[in-house]
Every structure is written in C-alpha cells, then in structure tokens.
Amino acid sequence: MKLSSMFLHTLKEDPRDAEVVSHKLMLRASMIKKLASGIYSYLPYGLKALKKVEKVIREEMNAAGAQEVLMPAVQPAEVWKESGRWNVYGKELLRFLDRKGGEFALGPTHEEVITSIVRDEVHSYRDLPVNLYQIQTKFRDEIRPRFGVMRSREFIMKDAYSFDIDDQGAEKSYDAMFKAYERIFSRCGLRFKPVEADTGPIGGNYSHEFMVLASTGEDIILSCGKCSYAANLEKAEIAKPESLDLKQAPEGAPEKVHTPGVRTVEEVCGFLGVTAKDLIKTLIYSTDNGIVAALVRGDHDVNEAKLKRAAGCETLELADEGTIEKFTKAPRGFAGPVGLSIKKIADFGLLDAGQNVTGANEEDYHLKNVWLARDAKVDLVADIRNAQEGDLCPRCSGGTLGAIRGIEVGHVFKLGIKYSKAMNASYLDVNGDLKPIIMGCYGIGVSRVLAAAIEQYADENGIVFPVPIAPYPVIVLPVSITDEKVMGEAKRIYDELNSRGVDTLIDDRDARPGVKFMDADLIGVPYRITVGARGLNEGVVEVKERSSGTVEKIPLGEVVDYCLARVNV
RNA sequence: CGGGGCGUAGCGCAGUCUGGCUAGCGCACCUGCCUUGGGAGCAGGGGGUCGGAGGUUCAAAUCCUCUCGCCCCGACCA
C-alpha cells in the first residue's frame, strides 16, 4: 500500500477525550473514529489490524474443530422469552419494535439463536459433538462506555458454542477451547493469564477468563505467588480457616458511646481513635430469601456473589433507607449485630476478632467492646468478602495472594443444560432416550484484543505492534522521492516483499524524512526499511526494528530475505 | 441514575467572568518558492456563525431559560 493514497490521517496531539494509551494511539494512528458514545468506525489501518487478529482466531478455531457460521445481529424477542432472559437481561439489551410492532433486540450474545438453530437441526447423538462459532458485531448498551474500543457498546466478538452428549464430552470441548485460547493469545504476542471467574448473567456453573495483564485494566486479578491459582476478584476465594468457632470472649458487656452524626468507617475511626480493623461493618441486604445482615471487618469489602451463595438467594441488593430503619431501628450508619433479630452472616475475617466497635442500632450511638461470640448470635460464618493482597491462597498451603490488573479478552463457560433445557434442544441417545444437549460457550472480544495489545505494546513514540497482528509488518521509507535512484530501489524492495506475501507499506509521500519517521513509529510498523542516497552509495539500506530500536545496515540484495525471516512467524 | 467538567474549523486550544470592530492562534489542508536522514522555513490561501432552540438587549460566542451531545468519578452491569 502506498501511503500517498492511503486513507490515513495521523494526529500529532492527543484527542482530548481519550484517557488510556490504546485509545489515544488508536485515534492518533487513524485506526478508529468515534460516531457516538461507545460506537466506533474502523478506518483502513484499524480494520487491517482487526483482520489480522481475526485471522489468528479463525485459524485456531478451525484447527480446534469448530465451524464458522454467521448469525443475525437483530434477534426477535421470542427466543429471549423462551430462554427466560428477556426479563432478566436488563437495560444492556437494546430493544426496539419493527414496523409491525414486533419486539426485537440487538444481540449482545447469541446463546438463544444458536440453541434454536441446533435444536432444529440436531436430533441424534450421531450429530454430536459439534462446535459452531462466528465473528460478529455485538451490541451491549453499557451504562458507561469508556476507553475507546476497550469498553464500547458496539464491538466485535468471536463467540463459539459447543454441543455435547454428556458432561465428559462437554469437558473435552471446554478443554479444547481453553487450549485454543491459550494458542490464540500467545500468537497475538500477549502477556495473559487464565483465571477462574464468576459466570454472571450468561449463566452456567464453571468458567475461566483470559486476562491480558495491564495496569489500566478494569478487572482485578488475585493470583497466588506460590501455586498456579488465579481468579477474578469476584470469584477469588480465601483460604478456609482451621476452625469456624468464634474467639472466646471474656466476661463483660458492650459499652454504648455517643457518636452524633458519625456513620462511615472513616468517621467512626476518627471519632473513637480506633483503626478500621477494630470495626465490624454491618450491611443490610434485601434478598429474594428475606433480609440478611452481612458482617465484615471494617477494612474489608463484601463480595455480593459470595454472599448470594452463603445466603442461598438468587437476587440481592443493599437495602434502602426505609428497610434499614425498619429492621435496625436506626438510620443508615448505625447498624450492628448486637440485638439485631434478622439473619446474620459473618465473614471468616471476624473469627478471631474481639473487642470490636459496631453500630448500636440506635441513631447517633455505637457500641465498644463488642465480642461476637458473647454479644451477638451469628447464624452463619462464611467467606463473604473480597479477597485482597496478602490473603492466604485457598489452594496451597503457605501461598499468599497478590493483586494485579487485567483486561478481560476471553471468557470460556460451561453452560450445562441451562439453554438446551429452556429451549428444548435435545437428542436421542444410543438407547433411544431423549436427553438435553450439554452446552458450552466461548467468547473473545476481538476489538478488545486489539486495544489490549496496544495497551501492552506502546512507547512514548506510539504503537509497537507485535508482528502477528501488525496491519503491515514492514514499511519501506525512501528518504527522498525526487531522487530516482532512491525511489527506484525503494519501489523494487516494496514490490518484491508484497509479491512474496508480506503486507508492505511504502511511504511515497513528498514529505520531509522526519515526518515519515515519526509516522512510521506512531503507527507501529514492526520493521522499517530506510532507503537513502547515503546508504545506496555503500550498497545498503537500513532496517530498524520498532520493538528494540536497533538499526542494521543490510546489503541491497539481502534485505528482502532478511525481512522475510523476521516476519514469517 | 447521582456528582463534576466540557461543547468555538478535521485535531488541540484562546476569547465567555466584565456583551461592542470583519471571531483568533497552533497543527492539519491548498498554491508557490525553498528544503530533504527524526514532526524545516518564507509568502499567499480555503474552511467555523461559536452544539441546538427560545429569550433579554441598540448589540450576544459572551447574559437568562430550556434542550441535545461528549468526557470523568460513582452507582450499575460483564
């Protein structure tokens, strides 16, 4: 491709509303263009990069035995009502009516559609297993899109769905996808980590996320320094204590203190001169299984997914002011376990606590010297808080958890029969018995992979594309386009590289060399061949490697082979 | 949805508080000269009606009301 005719308009300055490097650089490198909040066009250079990522994904998916399909972006409400998610999915599902008043939605994911296809087409165990995937535009009406295509509303996703006759088969399918994902992200040159994850509204019972490690990531990962355990914050467990008995309390009674207007943990600490660790936070939750009080140490945070499990409920949210007053007899900020008659679930972290400060269930009063074992009847002790740095590993002995940030680029789920049961996707087994198909689903955020790669591979001069996803692995840069010798040699190298299968750019713009160098750096081309009169006199050109910055002088006759050897991975 | 910030040319910004000449600067773009190994220089030029609507005023980018959009923090959500 000739830069003189390419639709590429780079920017010198950072656009104002870009925060993270990948967003800034994708805009500056003329890869994307915003149309509305969370909705982007891909310009030629960005699309080319996207296609490279897709190519890697396709190759590995096909190699793993999956077959490509393409499903509609617009989906009728009908299938969503069948699966039961029409009423569950919430505002992220963008709904609308067609001219006849029929209800439709823009697909945020395709479990319903694929399940309806497979249930019509598959009737026998002989048709299974099967794995179908697509690469397609999804729409999720995110409450707050941000960071460019990292978290956009419209985005490109590869989603695959596996169908098996039994759990053993489903396990194999899951495993095959897990391995394919490891190959995909490795080939893209990413530093990543698979972690155990919560399943969220997609459902199912087991899942892993693939996280690209980056300080700007929105997800927090906890991983053990000693063994291979790693999990998303929402899922991360904490080592189970040896005993679930509360610490024995001495004789005595809590002492009431006047704490006017003091509500938050910080305020209480400041007012009473204690630390957050000395406090017990009492959070009142409304659930489909009644009201519960969650007790955690003042410096810990409740993990709602864990609390749901412990409380045995499906839905759960922090109680509103009125509910709190009704059950604690005090406004928000003064709840405590002593004398509280609702179900109380205490966190492991409180097992060896004593002499705590808690709310008094009375406006403007707290209690000092509270011992859970003595003063409050706790119904259950469980793991209900977020893990944090320094916590003990749940899988090995002696390991501690560290926290790092990551960008979720892939997610694999075991769905079981959630959808096949709801939507009647079944098959006849060898014995002629009708059984539900066991499903799995596997997503990769294609556009997010691109953003994550740039997040991981950039420097002060711009993008540093890894070769496998570089839109163009090589750029030929003639220092002067008016020098016929220089231009002729540049053209020759450019043509030869292209004819030998290397996507190559040539900067044939009538611009000063400095401008060309800056642009080549900005757009992140891995190898730059500089052709100038100086070098030609010695019979050489210069090849600069973007990632290391090293420059080598290569004889004219060898430069094509030199590049081929570096670019064909 | 709550809090904060911002909409002036393709991009980055000044001007707004304290209304008043033809709305300005840098980058990008066009023409010419000159220059050609890390964002050159000179000269000339095109492009905006100040997010939108209404109002106040002799006069509105500037003041008032409404409205739309964008960004950040949070809540929410994968």
Mapping DSSP onto H, E and C, the string for A101-142 reads CCEEEECCCCHHHHHHHHHHHCCEHHHCCEEEEEEEEEECCC
The pLDDT tens digits of the residues spanning A516-565 come to 999 999 999 999 999 999 999 999 999 999 999 999 999 999 999 999 99
Cβ neighbour number for residue A255 with a 10 Å cutoff: 11
CATH code of residue A138: 3.30.930.10
Using an 8 Å Cβ cutoff, are A388 and A396 in contact? no
Of A393, A428, A455, which residue sits at a domain end? A455
A543 and A445 within one domain: no
Question: A384 CA to B77 C1', in Å?
Answer: 21
CATH of the domain at A264: 3.90.960.10
At residue A518's C-alpha, the angle toward residues A515 and A521, to 5°, is 150
Whether residue A442 sits in one domain with residue A356: no
Q: Is there a domain that residue A8 lies in?
A: no
- Assigned domain for A249 exists: no
At residue A21, what are phi and psi to the nearest 5 degrees? -55, -45
Residue A75 belongs to a domain: yes
How distant is C1' of B46 from CA of A50, in Å?
36
| Contacts with A57 (C-beta within 8 Å, 6 or more apart), sequence order | A135, A158, A184, A444, A446
Sign for the CA dihedral angle at A128, A134, A138, A140 comes to: positive
Q: How many domains does chain A have?
A: 3
Residues A167-184: tens digit of each pLDDT: 999 999 999 999 999 999
Residue A291 has pLDDT above 70, yes or no: yes
Tell whether the model's pLDDT for residue A423 goes beyond 90.
yes
pLDDT of residue A179: 97
> Which pair of structure tokens corresponds to residue A460?
């002060």
User: What's the rounded mean pLDDT across residues A490-506?
Assistant: 97
Cβ of A531 near strand B (under 7 Å)? The reply is yes
Q: How far is the CA of A149 from the C1' of B29 (A)?
A: 28
φ/ψ (deg, to 5) at A294:
-100, 125
Same-domain check for residues A422 and A369: no
Residue A286 lies in a domain: yes
A375 & A433 share domain? no
Cβ of residue A550 lies below 7 Å from strand B: no
Report if residue A202 sits inside a domain. no
**pLDDT in the model for residue A568:** 84
* Pair (A497, A549) in one structural domain: yes
| Structure confidence at residue A204 as a pLDDT band (50, 70, 90) | low
Beta-bridged to residue A359, according to DSSP, are A366
Supply the pLDDT for residue A458. 95
Report the interhelical angle of A446-456 vs A21-28 (nearest 10°): 100
Q: What are the angstrom distances between the C-alpha of A198 and each of A306, A501, A533? A: 10, 43, 60
**Is residue A215 domain-resident?**
no
- Contact call for residues A24 and A15 (beta carbons, < 8 A): yes
- Do A429 and A374 lie in one domain? The reply is no
Q: What is the pLDDT of residue A202?
A: 59
Q: Are residues A339 and A267 in the same domain?
A: yes
One domain, residues A298 and A439: no
Question: Do A89 and A184 fall within a single domain?
Answer: yes
**Position A305 in a domain:** yes
Q: A497 and A423 in one domain? A: no
Residues A348 and A337: their CA atoms lie apart, in Å, by 15
The gap between A240 CA and B71 C1' (Å) is 44
A5 CB inside 7 Å of strand B: no
Q: For position A205, what pLDDT does the model report?
A: 64
Tell me the per-residue pLDDT of A327-337, one tens digit each, with 9 for 90 and over. 888 888 888 89
Please identify, among A327, A359, A382, the residue that sits at the C-terminal boundary of a domain.
A382
Within this chain, do residues A442 and A498 fall inside the same structural domain, yes or no?
Answer: no
- The residue range of the domain holding A79 is 17-190+415-455
**Short-list A340, A335, A336, A372, CA closest to A354:** A372
Nucleotide nearest to A234 (CA to C1'): B78
CA distance A444 to A377: 47
Residue A393 lies in a domain: no
Of residues A504 and A241, more confidence is placed in A504
Could you tell me if A482 and A420 lie in one domain? no
What is the per-residue DSSP string for A398-415?
S-BEEEEEEEEEEEEEEE
**What's the mean per-residue pLDDT of chain A?**
92
pLDDT digits (tens, 9 = 90+) for A136-153: 999 999 888 989 999 999
Encode pLDDT of A249-287 as tens digits.
Answer: 888 889 999 988 788 887 888 888 888 888 898 988 888
Asked if the peptide bond before residue A526 counts as cis, ω within 30 degrees of 0, the response is no
The mean per-residue pLDDT over the stretch A449-464 comes to: 95
Of A392, A424, A455, the residue that ends a domain is A455
ipTM of the complex as predicted: 0.94
Read off the tokens for A472: 């163009």
| Strand B atom within 7 Å of A459 CB | no
> In Å, how far are A59, A64, A99, A381, A518 from A302, measured between CA atoms?
42, 40, 47, 13, 49
- Within 7 Å: CB of A503 and strand B? no
Q: What CATH number does the domain containing A561 carry? A: 3.40.50.800
- How distant, in Å, are the alpha carbons of A36, A447, A522 from that of A158? 23, 10, 28
A151 closest-nt by C1' vs CA: B78
pLDDT category of residue A415 using cuts at 50, 70 and 90: very high
Neighbours of A501 (CB within 10 A): 10
Query: What gap in Å lies between CA A258 and CA A362, rounded to an integer?
Result: 10
Looking at chain A, the whole-number percentage of residues with pLDDT higher than 90 is 65
